[in-house]
Structure 1
Amino acid sequence: MTETRHTKVLIIGSGPAGYTAGVYASRAMLEPILVQGIEPGGQLTTTTEVENWPGDTEVQGPDLMIRMEAHARAMGCEIIGDIITSLDMQSRPFKAQSDSGTVYTADAVILATGARAKWLGLPSEEAFKGFGVSACATCDGFFYRGQEIVVVGGGNTAVEEALFLTNFASKVTLIHRRDELRSEKILQDRLFKNPKIEPLWFHELDEVVGTDMPKGVEGVRARNVKTGEITEIPCKGVFIAIGHAPANELVKDTLETHMGGYVVTKPDSTATSIPGIFAAGDLTDHKYRQAVTSAGMGCMAALEAERWLAEQDLDSGKDTTEPLGYGAPVDAAE
C-alpha cells in the first residue's frame, strides 16, 4: 500500500541550500522533511579541498556535507534517502511522488535540487562515458595514475579538476576554445605554475577515440576553432568540465525560468511564481554558484516559508484545493 506522509515544509535536495533550510526550518519548529535526491550532499561531495567556506581555511567537500547533514539532523530535520520523481503544485497541499512509492504532501515546498555537470553532446563522448570519459575528477582521477589526461573547459571547474588530476596523471592537457581562462586568478596562477599542465588554446574537443575490446579511451582529436586543423592528443582519460545546468526537471514546465533554465525568484527573495513554493541554491543562481551563497539562500527560503505559513489560515476550513495559477508572473506571486 502506498504511504502518504504530510509535513509543513518539504525540502527537496541536500546540498548547502537544502541542509541549511533544514536547520532553519527545524529551529522554527516546522518539523521539515528533507528528501536528499539522487546525489546526497550535492556537488560538494565530488570536490576535494574547499578553501572558501567561512571558518575553515581548508575542508574536504564530502566532510563539509557530512557535517551539514549531521547539523540538520541534530536540529530535528527528518532526512530521507529517496528521490522525488514528480511534484504537483496545482493545488494545496502540494503533492510530491517519490521513487520509493511514498507520497509526500506539504503546506510549503523548498526546492534545493542544485545543478549537475554539462556535457558536450558528442556521440563519442557518450560512447565512452564511464570508460575513460568522466565529469568528476575526484570520483575517477585515481584510476589514471601515471597516465596522460585531457581536461576540457576554462572556468573554475576545469582549472580545479586539472590541478587535482596532477596528483595522479603524468601530464594534463587543458583544452580551451579561447586563449584566456575564466577562472579565479588564484587558480590560474596555480595552473600556470604547475609543470604537469599544458594548455591548448583556441581548440575544442572534436572526437574521443578509443578501443572496444576492452573498451577504453586512447586519445582525443581537438579542432582549432580558427583554422579547423585537427590535433591528435594521446590520453587515457577525458574529463569534461564546462560548467553545470540547473536540475529543474521537476518544475521546468510549471515555474518561471530564465537564463537557460534557472528558476526565477522575486527580487531579494526565494519566492517563486507559485505561492508556497520557494527555491534556493544553484537551481536559481546563474551568477555566483558558491556553497556559501547557496547556504544563505537556504536560510532565506526557510525563513520565508515560515513567514508565509504563518500568514496562511490553513485551519480555516476553506477549500485547500484552490488552483494557484500556473506560470503567474513573478511580481504577482504574492
Structure 2
Amino acid sequence: MPDTSRTPPAVQSQEAIHVSSEWGALKECVYGSPDRWVMPAFYGDSKQRAYGEFGEFWIRNEGRDVAEVDPERFEGFRSQIQGAIDFLRDSGVTVQVAQELAPEDMKFPRGENHGVVTGWMRDPFVTIGNNVIELAPRSLFHRRQRFAIRPILAETMDRGARYFAQPDSGAVESRDEPGWGYLEGGDVFVLGQQILVGHSGGCSNPEGGRWLQHMLGPDYKVDMAPIDPMFPHLDCVLCTPREGVTVICAEAFPQGLPDYIADWDHIVVDKFHAKRHMACNNLVLDDHTIIVPEAEALDMVAAELKKRKFEVIRLPYNYPSDFGGSFRCAHQPLIRV
C-alpha cells in the first residue's frame, strides 16, 4: 500500500485565508479524522481529560487501538465524526481532513508511540486574521498532530496566509520557564482584535501568551484567562456564538470573567455539564447558527440559544465528547469572515 501520509492534498480552495472572529461565517476548516484512534499513554496532562467511566477505560487501554479493544465505541466515534464532516460539506463549508500520521512521526518526540488523537484537530494550530500559526502544545499527544496537517498548512501560503511556527516544546513533558511557552488551540479565542488565551496550569501558559503577543504585534491584544484546573482548555468553559453572547461555565473562572466579555449576555452552565457533556464546546457556523450535540443534557443550552434567535442544529456527538473534546475541539477554521 502506498504511503499517502506525506502526499500533499489537492488544493481545496483559492479563497484567501482569514479568520475575523469566533462568530464569523465558517467557510473552510480543518477537521479531525474519523479513521484512527489509539488511546494516548497516560501522562500528567491526561488527568485533566480523563473523566468518569471513560477515564477508567483510558487507563485500562493506554496505547491500544480503540478499533480493536472496543469496536462499538470506535464505530460510534467514526460515524459521528464523519456525520459532522458530511453535514458541514452539505452546508457549503470546505472541509479538509487530517491525514494519517507516518509511522516515524508517531514516535515524536520521545521515540515512542504515545497515541493517535487526530479526531480532534483544534490544538496543533490556530488561524488569527491571515496568520496561520503552528502551536507548541504542552500535551505530548498533541505535539505530533501538526504532521497530519502540515501539507494543508503549507498550502495556505499560496492563499495569502502568513505561516508561522511557535518554538517547539521538545521532549520534556512540562517546563514553565522563560522561553518555554505552550499554546493549545482549545485555549485560543479570536474575538476580533482581542485574543483570549486560557490558562488552566496544564496546557497553555503565560509564556505562550507572551510569545503570541510578540508574534501578532500591536494590531492585537492578547490576554490570559485563568480557568479551573479541572478543565484543560478555555473552550471547555466558554463559547462565543455571537459578539455579546456566551455559553459559559462562570464558576470555572477563579478570578472572575475576563473583562472583555464580563458584561455580555451569558448562558450559564454548571461544572458538571461543562465537563461531562461539553456544554460549551459547540460549533458556530455564523452569528445566528450553531451546532450543539443532541444529548438531552444539553437541551437547556439549545433552548436558551433559541431564545436569543439562534438556529440550533443538533447532531449526535457523544462518542468523541467522552474523550473530552466535542465540536469545537474537532475543527480549526481557515476562513471565518
Fold-level match, TM-score > 0.5?
Answer: no
Higher relative contact order (CA 8 A, sep 6+): 2
**Structure whose residues are more often strand by fraction:** 1
**Structure whose residues are more often helix by fraction:** 2
TM-score (norm 1): 0.29
